[in-house]
Each structure stands twice: as C-alpha cells, then as structure tokens.
C-alpha cells in the first residue's frame, strides 16, 4: 500500500480496509500489547525468576556442604576427641596455683645446681589469659658460659613448661672473660581453676555489655 492509501483509511470502519492494512494494524496492536505486558508484568516476573534461580543455586551449595559435613560427622567427632585429649595433655604440663612456688624453686635450684650465682630472681605480676596464667620472672645469673648453657637446657627439660625469653649475655668483668652475666625473662604458666575461669568470663561479658 502507498502512503496516500494509508492516509485515506477510515479508522471508524476497519472492516472495509484491505487485508494488508488489516494485517499491519493487527501486528501493531499485538506489538503494543506485548510491550505493555512486558513492562507491567513479565519484566518483574523475569527478575523474580532470576532471583529464585540464584536462591536455588545457593540452597544447592548449602545442601552439598551440609551433606558433606554430615557424612564426615563421625570423623569430626573423633578429631574433636583427639584435640581435647591433646589439650588435656598440655594442660597437665601446667602447674596449679598451689604448685607455682615449687616450680619457681625448681628454676632457682637448676641455676644453683650449675654453680651459677643469682643476682636477680624477681617474679612479676601474673598475666591472666582465658584458660591459663602467665608468670614472668626476671632473672640475672653470673657464671661461666658452659654452666649458663647447661642451665638453659635444664630449664627447658623441667617437667613443667618454662621458657627463657629476651636473653642477653654480657661480660661485666673485663679482667675475666670467662665470667658472664645472663639476663632473661623466664616465663612459666599455670592453669586457672574453675573459679578463676568463671571470673574471667564474667569480666569479659561485663566489658561487652552495653553501657
């Protein structure tokens, strides 16, 4: 159809239109209807469908992860028991509060047994952790190099855990190079009893509580 023929079409009497005009009008109407349906309904439904698909993928991944955890549950329980046993073994290496004096005496005796002279043996304030307390002891001993080395070895082999930190060895007597002075911080540890652990937890909860 020509443009002039289209202009002469009477929109009030579509029935007498030639079939090409009717077909074009029908196609235009369908296009408008589909556009309106997409804009007002299908677009939102498409977005919702995409969200549902993403949610399904997330749920599938969570299911796969939880299924794997369920399959390995017995193994996890066994590993947890092993960790608890290892933790208990380490805990037994820590003295109780009542045993700390004996442990400090053992450190002192280890030095005296090697012929060292203690110029300083000063326990500092305990530093409380969640399950244990750390006790630093400032020490300064004087003796020959071999005896100082043997003392450090003896301390590391005590039945309780003791570590020597911040070690510094110097020669304060220029006339005698064999006599050395070692300064260090001996750190020993003890486990907290139930009452102390309870106090620790209450103190942390109090700090976290809103004011």
Distance (Å, whole) CA 105 – CA 85? 29
Comparing CA positions, the residue from 101, 114, 94, 207 lying closest to residue 155 is 114
Distance (Å, whole) CA 123 – CA 138? 6
Distance (Å, whole) CA 91 – CA 32? 79
pLDDT at 119: 93
pLDDT at 112: 93
pLDDT at 140: 95
21-40 residue pLDDT tens = 666 666 776 787 767 666 66
Lowest-confidence region among 56-70, 79-93, 190-204: 79-93
What is the three-class DSSP state of 175?
A: coil
Give me the domains of the chain, ranges plus CATH numbers: 97-197 (3.30.70.60)
pLDDT above 70 for 189: yes
Mean pLDDT of 86-100: 66
- Average confidence score pLDDT of the chain: 78
Strands 162-170 and 127-128 come out as unpaired
113-163 residue pLDDT tens = 999 999 999 998 888 877 788 889 999 999 999 999 999 999 988 888 889
Q: Which carries the bigger pLDDT value, residue 119 or residue 74?
A: 119
In terms of Cβ atoms closer than 10 Å to its own Cβ (0-12, 13-18, 19+), residue 142 is: middle
Q: Which carries the bigger pLDDT value, residue 17 or residue 185?
A: 185
pLDDT at 1: 54
pLDDT above 70 for 74: yes
Distance (Å, whole) CA 200 – CA 211? 19
């Amino acid at each position: 159809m020509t443009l002039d023929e289209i202009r002469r079409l009477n929109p009030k009497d579509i029935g007498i239109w030639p079939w090409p005009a009717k077909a074009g009008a029908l196609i235009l109407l369908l296009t408008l209807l589909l556009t309106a349906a997409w804009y007002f309904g299908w677009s939102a439904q498409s977005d919702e469908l995409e969200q549902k698909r993403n949610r399904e993928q997330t749920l599938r991944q969570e299911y796969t992860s939880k299924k794997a955890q369920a399959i390995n549950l017995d193994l996890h329980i066994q590993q947890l028991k092993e960790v608890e046993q290892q933790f208990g073994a380490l805990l037994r290496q820590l003295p109780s509060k009542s045993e700390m004096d004996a442990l400090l005496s053992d450190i002192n005796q280890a030095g005296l047994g090697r012929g060292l002279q203690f110029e300083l043996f000063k326990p500092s304030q305990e530093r409380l952790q969640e399950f244990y307390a750390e006790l630093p002891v400032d020490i300064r001993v004087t003796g020959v190099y071999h005896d100082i080395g043997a003392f450090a070895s003896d301390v590391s082999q005590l039945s309780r855990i003791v570590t020597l930190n911040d070690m510094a060895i110097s020669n304060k007597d220029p006339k005698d190079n064999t006599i050395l002075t070692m300064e260090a911080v001996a750190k020993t540890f003890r486990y907290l009893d139930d009452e102390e652990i309870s106090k620790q937890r209450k103190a942390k909860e109090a700090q976290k509580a809103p004011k």
